[in-house]
Amino acid sequence: MNDTNVHLQDSASETGFPSGFLWGTATAAYQIEGAAREGGKGESIWDRFVHAPGTIADGSTGDIACDHYHRWSDDLDLMARLSHSAYRFSIAWSRVLPDGKGHINETGMDFYEQLVDGLLARGIVPCVTLYHWDLPQALQDRGGWENRDTASYFADFAQAVARRLGDRVSAWITHNEPHIIVYHGYVDGTKAPGLRNPALVGPISHHLLLSHGLACQALRAETPHTDIGMALNFAAIEPATDREADAEAARTLDGLWHRWFTDPLFTGAYPEDIVPLIAQPPDLIRSGDLETIAAPLDFLGVNYYTRALVRAGKGGPTDPRIVPPSGPLTTMGWEIYPEGLRATLTRLHRDYQPKYLYITENGVAFPDTLTGDGEVHDAARTRYLREHFLATRQAIAEGMPVRGFFVWSLLDNFEWSYGFGQRFGIVYTDYPTQRRIPKDSATWLARVAATNGGTVEE
């Protein structure tokens, strides 16, 4: 993190979390901002996608979402009351560059500048995600991530943001979860842009990774003291049985989901065992691309929610199939499996030695309701978070360089194709009135943050 803001020490403090450990929440622009067509913002692929019939489970859109664009100041006050020391949010590319390139929309830049300044004024460290899935529609019209040029446009966008905000931002997260973009945006079509074409896995992955590398160059040039990383999603992938074929299938799935991205980032090569499974057109990888992609990072962001149990399908070990989970589930149908977080951190440290690790997302959706006393008693969420904090503390004790934890999410918000049906917030959003009601877990988390983890077991 930018050394003007945080001074991290390497020794763990008495609580088991290093002093300067960042405690906060994470959000994404499309999920909370609303104001889809205000302030000169251009259309994004999500603005387009949600208005196509049948794409969103409850027929809702993010047009208004949590109206954070208008309520940002109150939302920052809330974070301060909840003792956040950091906040991870994303910048909507089409709010800053309505056509994706060229003309900068100063009103959009102003919005993010007041957000950054507002955070700093409240003593909260700003961590900025540059791409949380909302490509400007104007670039999609030119082929989107299928088009190699989009990688350069992304670097230009990163540079424009860094020029305006870089002196005050502590960390850049170039991309959020490229694996989800690839498989849900382009294979099963459940997320924008909603395509269904498995042949695109190779090209989209490569262009996303390349765009990261090019953005790193632009960011380093503008803001040499700001840390750079990427947030990737990791499931704890385990074989469903002790059969050798299932172990191999688990390794394949780990390759498809994880190593396909982490190997190029940290070793400059796509994983050999997976290359035969993913088509890469002959002219896709150009000379110098892999060096660009593998430029050293300051941290790896870990988004962790659940485990995936795997068995070999009819096609054998290269045909991994996920076994339906049987443990305790969330309303997303995800198994609650905190040990997997520790295993994930350990494995990433062992295989790639990133300088620092941050938990850039972890949290849970439950069917929260407002009770008669006007509160939300979400003991199950507190339990979920406690167990994941303890898994992190254990990993730290074992030597993993974890430096912060961002709970997903600050507010109940627009959960992509699930609409408003999944409540991930530590703060309840009453959508008709946009009232924010901190849940019991928010109060618990505030104390944990204020004591740097000292009260995590309470």
What residues are annotated to the active site? Answer: 177, 361
Contacts 24+ apart (CB under 8 A), 279-284: 279/199, 279/201, 279/202, 280/202, 280/203, 280/206, 281/202, 281/203, 284/202, 284/203, 284/206
Nearest by Cα to 113 from 40, 173, 46, 163: 163
The CA distance from 299 to 2, in Å, is 12
**With respect to ligand FCB, which residue has the nearer C-beta, 131 or 416?**
416
CA neighbours closer than 13 Å in the CB half-sphere of residue 13? 13
Residues of this chain that interact with ligand FCB (CB under 6 A) are 28, 31, 176-177, 180, 233, 303, 361, 408, 415-416, 424
Taking the complex as a whole, the smallest distance from the CB of residue 28 to ligand FCB amounts, in Å, to 5
Taking the complex as a whole, the smallest distance from the CB of residue 399 to ligand FCB amounts, in Å, to 27
The CA distance from 274 to 267, in Å, is 15
Note whether 252 and 237 are within 8 A (CB). no
**With respect to ligand FCB, which residue has the nearer C-beta, 72 or 424?**
424
CA 435 to chain centre: 25
**With respect to ligand FCB, which residue has the nearer C-beta, 154 or 305?**
305
Q: Is 403 exposed, middle or buried (0-12, 13-18, 19+ CB in 10 A)?
A: buried
Taking the complex as a whole, the smallest distance from the CB of residue 388 to ligand FCB amounts, in Å, to 14
Residue, CB closest to ligand FCB: 28
The CA distance from 166 to 145, in Å, is 25
Taking the complex as a whole, the smallest distance from the CB of residue 90 to ligand FCB amounts, in Å, to 9
The amino acid at 330: T
**With respect to ligand FCB, which residue has the nearer C-beta, 235 or 343?**
235
Cα separation values, 351 from 14, 70, 174, 210, 325, Å: 28, 44, 21, 22, 27
Taking the complex as a whole, the smallest distance from the CB of residue 301 to ligand FCB amounts, in Å, to 10
The CA distance from 37 to 108, in Å, is 11
DSSP 111-144: HHHHHHHHHHHTT-EEEEEEESS--BHHHHTTTG
The CA distance from 186 to 193, in Å, is 7
**With respect to ligand FCB, which residue has the nearer C-beta, 90 or 452?**
90
Taking the complex as a whole, the smallest distance from the CB of residue 26 to ligand FCB amounts, in Å, to 8
